[in-house]
Amino acid sequence: MQTTSSLDKFFAPKSIMVIGASRSPGKAGNIMLENILANGYQGRVYPVNPNADEILGFKCYPTVGDIPEVPDLAVMAVPAAAALAAVKDCAQKRVSALVMTTSGFAEVDDTGAKLQAQILEVAKGAGMRIMGPNTSGITSTPSRFSVSIFPLGMIRKSPISCLAQTGNFATHTMKWILTGEHFGVSRVAGLGNMIDVDESEVLEYFGRDPETKAIVIYLEGFKNAGRFLEIAKQVCRKKPIIALKAGRTESGVRAVASHTASLASNDLIVDAAFRQAGIVRVQSYTTLIDTAKVLALQPIPKGNRVAVLTPSGAMGIIAADACERLGLKMADLSQKSFQELGTIFPSYVNVGNPIDIWGAAMIHGVYEAYEKGMRVALEDEGIDAVLSIMNLSPETVFGSHELDPEKLSFIPELCQEFPDKVVMVAVSGAKSYYEAAKQYLEEHSVPVFLPVEPALEALAYINQCRRYLIWDP
Amino acid sequence: MQTTSSLDKFFAPKSIMVIGASRSPGKAGNIMLENILANGYQGRVYPVNPNADEILGFKCYPTVGDIPEVPDLAVMAVPAAAALAAVKDCAQKRVSALVMTTSGFAEVDDTGAKLQAQILEVAKGAGMRIMGPNTSGITSTPSRFSVSIFPLGMIRKSPISCLAQTGNFATHTMKWILTGEHFGVSRVAGLGNMIDVDESEVLEYFGRDPETKAIVIYLEGFKNAGRFLEIAKQVCRKKPIIALKAGRTESGVRAVASHTASLASNDLIVDAAFRQAGIVRVQSYTTLIDTAKVLALQPIPKGNRVAVLTPSGAMGIIAADACERLGLKMADLSQKSFQELGTIFPSYVNVGNPIDIWGAAMIHGVYEAYEKGMRVALEDEGIDAVLSIMNLSPETVFGSHELDPEKLSFIPELCQEFPDKVVMVAVSGAKSYYEAAKQYLEEHSVPVFLPVEPALEALAYINQCRRYLIWDP
C-alpha cells in the first residue's frame, strides 16, 4: 500500500544511490550502507565511489553517471565543498529525490547560506526534491531501510512516524529508543535546514500514509506555519499528533539561531495555534519519548477512564492525584468488578480504584493476583486503560534471584484479549527485576515505566489527542 | 555526634530488641534481623522467640522479661491480635522507644482504631514512645541498622533523611533507590498511623540532626499541621526540605481515607502554607526521587546559573527552554571561558551556552572534549551547576562494544576539585552504555539521568530550597 505523494521516492524507493560511499567503518558513507544492509532493504543499492569495486557486498560505481538506472532515491554524504558538484550530477542523472546529510550551510555562516541557495536553484531547475541539507538521514521501516549517518542496526517497525527538525531522531535518540525503550518507528524524516521539503509536506504525507498511525514531531521553527497548521487541522482528525516545539524561551530562542537557522516564533502564539490545529504540545523531551512509546505499542484508548493496580496505598493515592491533575479519570468500578475483586481480596481490604492489590498478592502470589486484578479491570466496560504498578523483587515474587520474565506472559496475553484497551506497567523494587520485566514486556508491546506518574502523563497526552479524532478509536 | 532529642533511642540505639523474631526467611521478624546484620549494626541485639535458641547468629530470649537489660529500641512484628499484650510487656520492661510494624488498626476499621487507642494509653502510662503502628520500619545508616520489614541489604549512607507516611521508603522504593539510583540515606522514619511520634517531632529531630543535610518528605495528612509548619520555618533556613504531599485531588482524597486513616487537607491551603514554611513541594513521586538523588550525591549550589554541555543543537535548545521555565538561568560564559572553549572547538562552531560540544568531540575524542568543556565551565565563576549531556555509544566513543566506565573517571575527579558546584550527567545513545555510565558515576556520587529535563527539574527544586537558606551553601 503506497500513497501517491511525491515523497514516496523518499520513503518507498525501489533503488537507492549512495554518493560518497566509503569503505571506512565510522564514515557516514559507510554507515548508511550498513543501515541499508541491517534493515534488509529489498531494492537495488548503488554506492558511488571511484576507488572501490564493492563496499559491504554492494557493487560500486565510479560516478553518478555510471549507475545503470535512474535511482528513486539519492543520498549524499560528501563534504560541503563537494556538495554543489554532486547535486549537479544528480540533476543531470534526473534523480528526483535527494537526501543531503552534508552540513556546513546556513546553520554555519553566510557563505553556507549562499551555497545552499545555489543548490536549491539547481534542484528546482531539474525537478529534484531535496531533504536537508544538515539532516542525519531518514528511515522507513515499511521499506526496510535507513540512511541514517549513525549505525542503528535493525530498526523495529511500529505505526508511529517522526518529523524532526533535528538529527537526534535518526541518531542517538533513536539508538536509545531501540535499545532502551524497545519500540520502533514507521517513517523518520530528519528535516535539517529544510531548503526544499518542509514540515508541511512531510506532515501531509504522514497524514495520508497507511503505515503511519500517529505522528511525533520535534520542531524549532516553521518554513510556513500557516500551511502546517492547516494540514494539521485535517490530519489530527485521523491521527494523533504530538509535538515538542523548542525555542520556547529567550534562552532557547538564542540557541535555535545557531542550530537550524530558523527563527523561533512567539511561544504563546504557538501554544494557541497548536491547540486550534489539533496538535498536542508536550512539555519535555522525556515526555515526548514516553508518549511515543505508548502510541507505538498500545491502541488509542476510547476514553479517559483509568484503573490503577498498586502494591502500596501511597502509590495508589499518588496515581489518583496524577490522574485528576492530568485530565484523566479514576474509573468507578462496576458492581461486577467489586464482586470479583472481593473474591481474591482479604476481608479487611476496602476494594476500590486504585486497586490495592498487595493483600491479594500475599494470599495468591504476585502473578496470580495481578492477572486476576488486571482481567477484572479490562473486562469492566467503564475502564479504558489500566496501569499496573508492580513491586518486583526476589522477596516479593518468592522466586530465585533473577526474574523469570515468562511469568509475566499473562500481560501481553491480556493485551491480545482486550485489544481496544491500553495496558501499561510500572515497576518498583529491584533494578535487575525492573530491567528484565521492561525488556520482556516492551518487546511484547507492553510499555513499562518507573512509578508513578510517567505512564499516566503519556496517557494524558494521548487522551488529549483522542479528543480531536473524528473516528472511534 | 548525637542530638539530645528523645528520638535518639529510635535512630541511635545502643541495643535493639526484636519481638516476633522468626527463623523463617521471608517473615518480617526474620527480615528485620537480616537488615540489622546486613548493615553491620554494632550494638546488642535481642530477638524474642520462645521456640528458638538463636536466629541468624543472634541468641534468642523466650520473653521480653528475659532480656538482660532495658533495650534502647524495641521493634515489633507480631499480628494485631497479639500487639496489645506485647506492648504491655514492653511497658513493664520500661522500654522507652518502640517501632510497631504490625498493621490492622485504624487504617482497617473501627475495631482497629479502638485497639490502637488502647495501645497508646498503655504506652503513655509507661512513658514509652511509639512509631507506627502500620509502619514498615525505620533505618539509620549512621548507626548502621535498618529494621525494615523488606530485605534491603547494605544501605549506602548519605546525608539525606526521609520522613514518610508510607512504607514505600522502607521497602520497594528504597530497594529501587539502592539498586537503580545508587544513592543512600541517613535516617528513614516510616510514620505509619502516627498514634504517637508524629511528623512534627521527626522533622524537628532531623532539623537538629548533624547527620542530616536535607530532608525528603512524603505525607498524606498532618497530625498537627500548625506545629509542623512552625518547625519547618526554622529548619528550612538550615536544610533543604522537599515534600510530596499526596491526596491533592478528589480521587486522591478518597484513596487516602483507606490508607493511613488521615484526613487530606484542602490542597491549595497546603500549597500556600508550604511556601510560607519554606517547604518545597514537588509534583511527582518520580521527581521526589530524582531530587533526593541530587541532594544525596551533590552539594547545594550557590546560585541558579547553569551551563549545559550538549552533543546536539536540539538538546541544547531544549535544555535552555527547561532552565528558563524552571527558574534556572543559562549562565553567561566569561570571556576566559569563551577563549578556552575556542581553543578546542572547530572554527565553524559558535561558542556559547549551551555548549555544543560535539564539534570538539569529533576532533579531540569524546572524553577529552567533555573533560575540557566541563573544566572550563566549572572554573567559570559565573556558573553554579553543570549538566553534561553525553551521547555514549560504541560508535561515538570509538571503543569496544562495552563502555569502559573508568574513562569517565575525570567526572568524579572534577567534582572533588570543585566541591561547591553541582555536576550532573545525562546520557543518550546505547542502553548498555547508559547503564554502565550510570552505575559507575552514581557510585562515585555523580547523578545520572535520561536527557534532557529530569536533571534540571531536580536542580530547580533544590534551587527553590536554596532561597530559604540563611547560610551560604
- DSSP-assigned states of every residue in A311-361: SSHHHHHHHHHHHHHTT-EEPPPPHHHHHHHHHHS-TTS---SSEE-HHHH
Three-class secondary structure of residue B290 per DSSP = helix
Contact between A361 and A369 (Cβ < 8 Å): yes
CB contact under 8 A, A256 and B352: no
Q: What percent of chain B has pLDDT over 70?
A: 94
Q: State the residue for C-alpha cell 550538549.
A: B310
Nearest to B314 among A166, A312, A434 (CB): A166
CA atoms of A181 and A178, how far apart (whole Å): 6
Residue of B nearest to A25 (CA): B395
* Minimal C-alpha gap between B392 and chain A (Å): 8
**In the prediction, which pLDDT does A197 show?**
96
All three cell numbers of B466, joined, read 536554596
Q: What is the mean pLDDT of chain A?
A: 93
Q: State the residue for C-alpha cell 537489660.
A: B69
CB contact under 8 A, B429 and A352: no
Tell me what the mean pLDDT of segment A225-250 comes to: 92
**Per-residue confidence at B257, pLDDT binned at 50, 70, 90?**
low
CB contact under 8 A, A314 and B172: no
**In the prediction, which pLDDT does B259 show?**
58
CB contact under 8 A, A451 and B258: no
**In the prediction, which pLDDT does B3 show?**
42
All three cell numbers of A341, joined, read 475483586
Short-list B316, B312, B406, CA closest to B354: B316
Contact between B35 and B63 (Cβ < 8 Å): no
Does the pLDDT of residue B362 top 50, yes or no?
yes
On chain B, the residues whose CB falls within 8 A of the CB of A259 are 313-314, 316-317, 356
A53 vs B220, which has greater pLDDT? A53
Contacts of A259 (CB under 8 A, 6+ apart): A107, A166, A220, B313, B314, B316, B317, B356
Contacts of B278 (CB under 8 A, 6+ apart): B232, B233, B235, B236, B237, B241, B465, B468
- Which residue, among A318, A351, A366, A391, would best test binding to B if mutated, counting the most B CBs under 10 Å from its CB? A318
**In the prediction, which pLDDT does A163 show?**
97
Tell me what the mean pLDDT of segment B164-176 comes to: 91
**In the prediction, which pLDDT does A214 show?**
98
Size of the A and B interface in Cβ pairs below 8 Å: 216
**In the prediction, which pLDDT does A263 show?**
45
**In the prediction, which pLDDT does B225 show?**
92
- Which residue, among A249, A321, A355, would best test binding to B if mutated, counting the most B CBs under 10 Å from its CB? A321
Does the pLDDT of residue B1 top 90, yes or no?
no
**In the prediction, which pLDDT does B90 show?**
98
Classify A247 in phi/psi space as left (phi over 0), alpha (psi -120 to 50) or beta.
left
CB contact under 8 A, B312 and A258: no
Q: What percent of chain A has pLDDT over 90?
A: 84
CB contact under 8 A, B452 and A165: no
CB contact under 8 A, A321 and B252: yes
**In the prediction, which pLDDT does B263 show?**
45
Residue of A nearest to B165 (CA): A314
**In the prediction, which pLDDT does A395 show?**
73
Residue of A nearest to B172 (CA): A429
* Minimal C-alpha gap between B84 and chain A (Å): 19
Tell me what the mean pLDDT of segment A398-427 comes to: 91
Does the pLDDT of residue A117 top 70, yes or no?
yes
CB contact under 8 A, A453 and B325: no
Tell me what the mean pLDDT of segment A42-56 comes to: 97
Tell me what the mean pLDDT of segment A26-46 comes to: 97
Does the pLDDT of residue A106 top 60, yes or no?
yes
* Minimal C-alpha gap between A454 and chain B (Å): 8
Beta strands B422-429 and B448-449: pairing type? parallel
CB contact under 8 A, B453 and A220: no
**What Cα–Cα distance (Å) separates residue B220 from each residue in A309, A321, A348, B277, B327?**
19, 11, 21, 17, 27
Q: What is the mean pLDDT of chain B?
A: 93
Q: What secondary structure, in 3-state letters, does A126-165 show? A: HCCEEECCCCCCEEEHHHCEECCCCCCCCCCECCEEEEEC
Taking only the tens place, the pLDDT of each residue in A271-302 is: 899 999 999 999 999 999 999 999 999 999 99
Tell me what the mean pLDDT of segment B292-315 comes to: 96
B403 vs B9, which has greater pLDDT? B9
On chain B, the residues whose CB falls within 8 A of the CB of A450 are 176, 286
On chain A, the residues whose CB falls within 8 A of the CB of B168 are 312, 314-315, 428
CA atoms of B452 and A173, how far apart (whole Å): 11
- Predicted TM-score of the model (pTM): 0.95
Contact between A285 and B322 (Cβ < 8 Å): no
* Minimal C-alpha gap between A421 and chain B (Å): 22
Handedness of CA B391, B397, B403, B405 (dihedral sign): negative
Ordered DSSP codes for B387-443: EEEEEE-HHHHT--SS--GGGGTHHHHHHHHSTTSEEEEEEEE-HHHHHHHHHHHHH
Tell me what the mean pLDDT of segment B242-260 comes to: 72
Tell me what the mean pLDDT of segment B256-284 comes to: 78
On chain B, the residues whose CB falls within 8 A of the CB of A454 are 286
**In the prediction, which pLDDT does B236 show?**
98
Strand partners, A192: none
Contact between B241 and B280 (Cβ < 8 Å): yes
Cis peptide before B452 (omega within 30 of 0): yes
Cis peptide before A354 (omega within 30 of 0): yes
Does the pLDDT of residue A170 top 90, yes or no?
no
Ordered DSSP codes for A241-259: EEEEE---SHHHHHHHHTT
- Which residue, among A218, A256, A286, would best test binding to B if mutated, counting the most B CBs under 10 Å from its CB? A286
**In the prediction, which pLDDT does A254 show?**
64
Least confident of A102-106, B116-120, B192-196: A102-106
Q: What value does the CA radius of gyration of chain B take, rounded to a whole number of Å?
A: 25
On chain B, the residues whose CB falls within 8 A of the CB of A354 are 255
CB contact under 8 A, A434 and B176: yes
B129-131: strand order across its sheet:
B44-48, B15-19, B73-76, B97-100, B129-131
* Minimal C-alpha gap between B438 and chain A (Å): 12
**In the prediction, which pLDDT does B2 show?**
41
Does the pLDDT of residue B91 top 90, yes or no?
yes
Nearest to A220 among B168, B317, B398 (CB): B317
Does the pLDDT of residue B37 top 80, yes or no?
yes
Here the ipTM equals 0.94
CB contact under 8 A, B286 and A172: no
Question: What structural domains does chain B harbor?
Answer: 8-295 (3.40.50.720), 300-466 (3.40.50.261)
Determine how many CB atoms are found less than 10 A away from the CB of residue B350: 14
